[in-house]
Chains A and B, each alone.
Chain A
Amino acid sequence: MTTEILLQTLASGILIGLIYALVAIGLTMIFGVMDIVNFAHGEFLMLGMYSSFWLFSLYALDPLLTLPLTVIMLFAFGVLLYRLVIVRIINAPMLSQIFTTFGIMILLRGVAQFFWKSDFRSIENSSVSGTVKLVGIQLGKPQLVAGVGAIVITGLIYFFLNRTRLGAALEATASDKEAARLMGIDSHKMFSLAWGIGAACAGAAGVLLATFFPIFPDVGANFILLAFVVVNLGGFGSVTGAFWAGILVGVIEVMGGLLLGPQYKTAIVLVLFLGVLMFRPQGLMGKA
């Protein structure tokens, strides 16, 4: 194996890992703020993909151009979902929480199949197609743009959480609901915000993916398990943890695929997941 192949693989692992990170950040935020595992998270990503697909094929609007629009739509969708459904299961037993978000997952897949059929679709010839050669390694332009986009969005979320009053309120709710309420923070508002941002992150990841990944109703299934793994490695509720863990998972997956064959790349990630769950349940970067 040449260094070139190794570098090439490493680079593509990092790039896809940045997308995993973005999906997982949304998931970890919802979990961190309200202790609910959202099984429908991959479907937010699916909706983001379809949104950019239709805007592209119906109005010839470039995915990158429509990214803000899709993000706003997914934000609204996340808030709506919280207000309509999730608000009713905040204090429900874990089982009914799991099955509510699981039901939403298959509902959204069914709805997508109903309106858009189960065909595989793709966005051809967007503004970011083609490849570039960077320091001797060949990279797809869509992947590169997606990776950079994911970094920018993650940076914005980091800024929001750490430098704004609203972000601080969200963090406060995540670390102690009761204390935050006593400080006058409306926890329902924070929960809506977490669902909105969570859905928007997954939607943005969907848009970035849409330029190089097939679009179909069940596409979320490819990402939800990976997102769980990332969230867990990074420590539940930790945004920076999810960012680094996303990159790590992307690299391990692609490297493992190179060494053992692509059919085992998911298995490698799952073994890693179980190992971390068993020996460091607080995550690789979490504190004991």
Chain B
Amino acid sequence: MKNYHFAIFTLVAALLLPAVIDSSHLNMAILVLMAAQVGVAWNMVGGYAGQVSLGHAAFYGIGAYASTLLLVKFGVNPWIGVLTGGVVAALLSLAFGWSCFRLKGHYFAMATIAVAELVQIFFTEWEYGGAAVGLYVPLDKPGWLWMSFSTKLPYYWLALGLLLLTLAANWWIERSYLGYYFRAIKDEPDAARSIGINIARYKQIALSVSAFFTAIGGSLYAQKEIYIDPNSVLSTALSIKMALVAILGGVGTLFGPVIGAVILTSIEEFTRIFFGGTGRGTDVIIYASLIIVIAVFYPTGIIGWMRSFRERRAARADASRQIAAHAASASTNNGEAA
């Protein structure tokens, strides 16, 4: 019930936000929404199904490149390009899953880094795809039909819409049999297998859905930034950031990545604005220190921390009630004895 209130409140705030902030803050809000969206997408396979991928930038980049190449080379409408990118990423995730899912834990995480690095090397060398120079998204057809705008506001609505769509998909998965299977694969793989769950298949489903939404996020990035290169949409640092957003907020929770995105993007942007100008890496130092502190002291993320805080408070309240009850009964007993 409380979560439901929180969600409604956040949604109303998000709808009203553009009316009260200026354009530079609006850009930051868009960054938060986009980070949250890929975090939610990552969380489907990394959080719910427990398969820690550190190579999700591969899907993001494939989405960005698919829609941009279709637009630049064939004049395909970006709305179609975005969907195509998602489908292509979901299909390529079959190869990704085939090569990595037989591995567990650290091995899986490292294999995903290697796959994503290979994809990055491919795009860096691929002349047709712009190689290391990258690609520009043409701006000749502004408007909603071609998903191209000269102001920031439409991108805010696009990013918000995509985030809501991704959250809705995640919410549906969480409540369907898929959600139960994913959690079973994460927490009790042997038990899941013994009751007949085809683990490989459901891991793959989680990955493909996640890849689809991650790629759409990548396409939106390309449309917004109007320029992509292998470094901006395919780097391992980006893969790590997607996972980090989910981890900060709370792995395997619906709204965890949203909270994580708000915190991480704020930290990044504010340290960059206040300390980045020195060019001496002060922003990086603060950012890294916070990551370490959170990873060491709050391993279950903000949501996990709030839950345990609430449980502790409930336990304390419970204990004090018991003591009070005990004291009361003791005093009645005394009264009876007297």
Contacts and interface: CB of A to CB of B under 8 A. Distances in A.
A195 interface: no
Interface stretch (B81-89, B97-105, B217-225, B313-321): B97-105
Interface residues on B, range: 35 or more
Contact of B114 (A94, A103, A109, A270): A270
A220 B296 CA distance: 23
A99 B291 contact: yes
B311 interface: no
B294 to A, nearest CB: 8
Interface residues on A, range: 35 or more
A59 interface: no
B295 A232 contact: no
B94 interface: no
A99 B289 CA distance: 11
Nearest to B110: A228
B280 A114 contact: yes
A274 interface: yes
A88 B298 CA distance: 11
Contacts of A112: 281
B185 interface: no
A263 B118 CA distance: 12
Contacts, number: 123
A151 to B, nearest CB: 27
Interface string B114-130: 11011001101100000
A56 interface: no
B155 to A, nearest CB: 28
Interface string B248-264: 00010000000000000
Contact of B247 (A96, A109, A118): A96
Given A95-B52, A114-B281, A263-B125, A270 B117 contact: yes
Interface in A256-288: 263-264, 266-267, 270-271, 273-274, 277-278, 281
A93 interface: yes
A94 B106 contact: yes
B114 A225 contact: yes
A225 B117 contact: yes
B299 A95 contact: yes
Interface string A110-140: 1111100110000000000000000000000
Given A270-B118, A274-B115, A103 B284 contact: no
A96 B285 contact: no
B105 A277 contact: no
B280 A98 contact: no
B309 interface: no
B215 interface: no
B103 A110 contact: no
Contacts of A106: 284, 287-288, 291
Contacts of A99: 243-244, 247, 291, 294-295
Given A92-B296, A114-B285, 15 more contacts: A37-B106, A37-B110, A94-B52, A94-B105, A99-B247, A100-B295, A103-B288, A106-B287, A264-B121, A266-B121, A270-B114, A270-B121, A274-B114, A278-B102, A281-B102
Interface of B: 52, 54, 99, 102-103, 105-107, 109-111, 113-115, 117-118, 121-122, 124-125, 240, 243-244, 247, 251, 280-285, 287-289, 291-292, 294-297, 299
15 contacts: A37-B109, A37-B110, A94-B105, A94-B106, A95-B243, A103-B291, A106-B291, A113-B280, A113-B281, A114-B282, A118-B281, A229-B114, A263-B124, A266-B117, A270-B121
Give the 10 A-B CB pairs with smallest separation, nearest first: A113-B281, A110-B284, A107-B288, A103-B291, A96-B299, A103-B292, A110-B285, A99-B295, A110-B281, A106-B288
